[in-house]
């Protein structure tokens, strides 16, 4: 089997980006931006979680918001769950990996904050439980998934579902979506702080 040429691969990515742009995600993305901006402006936490590549995305998002995306501004209270290996492995070893994010939401979550779960399938048990724990703490729940949203859809106040199921392709679009969200959140935070 011959590997596709780079141009073909990039054409496939561009085609999915165009399909995503036409898939009416404006409303849920705007809702996510509003919820995250409101929470962070009030000093409430944004807790982001996922497994594997989605865990790396969670850390990327937290890095952009604690640090900066484009604008100079104070740091924002964004935490990537699972980034603390001691907490994650202690809980997973002593209790269950399925509850590792829910436990961290229990410890770090606050009413008025946001839990943002990332899963290309929407089926990861520990991510589903994180959103359930967020709802139990009166937090807004956001899910970034592939087509349909999987089981996460039922636990999300805001569902942003890329219209594809191929994991690498979904992850490529996720990066574009969360970069856009970070940029918009940062702008809204800066606008609120302006005299």
Domains recognised in the chain with CATH numbers: 25-193 (3.40.50.10490)
Residue 192: the pLDDT is 83
Residue 132 parent element (H or E): helix 125-136
What would the DSSP string read from start to end of 138-182? T-EEEEEESTT-GGGGGG-SEEEE-S---HHHHHHHHHHHHHHHH
Question: Considering Cα of 162, then 75, then 138, then 130, what sign does the dihedral take?
Answer: positive
Question: Which pTM does this prediction carry?
Answer: 0.95
118 vs 136: CA distance, rounded Å: 19
Query: How many Cβ atoms sit within 10 Å of the Cβ of residue 77?
Result: 18
Residue 194: the pLDDT is 73
Burial 25-48 (b: 16+ CB within 10 A, else e): beebbebbbebbbbbbeeebbbbb
Residue 159: the pLDDT is 98
Provide the residue-wise pLDDT of the chain in tens; the chain has 195 residues.
Answer: 677 799 999 999 999 999 999 999 999 999 999 999 999 999 999 999 999 999 999 999 999 999 999 999 999 999 999 999 999 999 999 999 999 999 999 999 999 999 999 999 999 999 999 999 999 999 999 999 999 999 999 999 999 999 999 999 999 999 999 999 999 999 999 888 776
pLDDT in tens, 74-119: 999 999 999 999 999 999 999 999 999 999 999 999 999 999 999 9
């Amino acid at each position: 089997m011959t590997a596709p040429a780079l141009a073909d691969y990039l054409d496939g990515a561009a085609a999915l980006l165009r399909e995503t742009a036409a898939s009416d995600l404006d409303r849920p993305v705007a809702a996510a931006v509003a919820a995250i901006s409101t929470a962070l402006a009030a000093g409430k936490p944004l807790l982001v979680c996922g497994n594997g590549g989605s865990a790396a995305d969670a850390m990327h998002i937290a890095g952009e918001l604690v640090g900066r995306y484009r604008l100079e501004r104070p740091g924002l209270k964004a935490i990537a769950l699972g980034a603390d290996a001691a907490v994650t492995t202690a809980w997973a070893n002593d209790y269950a990996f399925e509850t590792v994010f829910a436990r961290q939401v229990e410890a770090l979550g606050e009413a008025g904050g946001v839990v943002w779960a990332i899963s290309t399938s929407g089926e990861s048990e520990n991510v589903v439980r994180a959103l359930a724990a967020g709802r139990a703490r009166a937090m807004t729940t956001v899910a970034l998934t592939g087509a349909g949203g999987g089981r996460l859809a039922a636990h999300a106040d805001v569902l942003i579902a890329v219209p594809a199921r191929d994991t690498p392709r979904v992850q490529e679009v996720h990066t574009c979506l969360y970069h856009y969200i970070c940029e918009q959140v940062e702008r809204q935070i800066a606008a609120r702080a302006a005299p």
